[in-house]
Amino acid sequence: MSETDAGAVEVWASESTLLSFDGRVLEVFGFADVHRFHRAFRPRMTVNKRMVSISPTHGGQLSFFFDHDRRATLEEFAARLAGEIGE
């Protein structure tokens, strides 16, 4: 997990999937489209056995596979996201 100059927190889920949270919008890069979840929709991120799932209060859920050696960092990112959104 790293912090950008702009203050966003970023974490790689795999070599091709990057998550970023700037305090306002959670973004997921690495698919055909960028997926964005505004904090107003309280996106909840869970790291399951094989997949990461992001579920907002409104709109569709996003699930994707992750590299298992990145699990601890993804769980730390999910906890930080929950803390900043107020889960």
What pLDDT digit, counting tens, does each position of 54-77 carry? Answer: 999 988 899 999 999 999 999 999
- 39, 49 contact by CB (below 8 A): no
50 burial class (0-12, 13-18, 19+ CB within 10 angstroms)? exposed
The single residue listed with the structure tokens 């699990």 is 71
Three-state SS at 34: coil
Q: What is the pTM of this model?
A: 0.89
Residues 5-11, mean pLDDT to the nearest whole number: 80
| Range(s) of the domain holding residue 32 | 2-85
CATH number for the domain spanning 42: value is 2.30.29
Number of domains into which the chain is organized: 1
Strands 25-29 and 17-21: antiparallel
Q: In the prediction, which pLDDT does 5 show? A: 57
- 54, 87 contact by CB (below 8 A): no
Q: In the prediction, which pLDDT does 6 show? A: 64
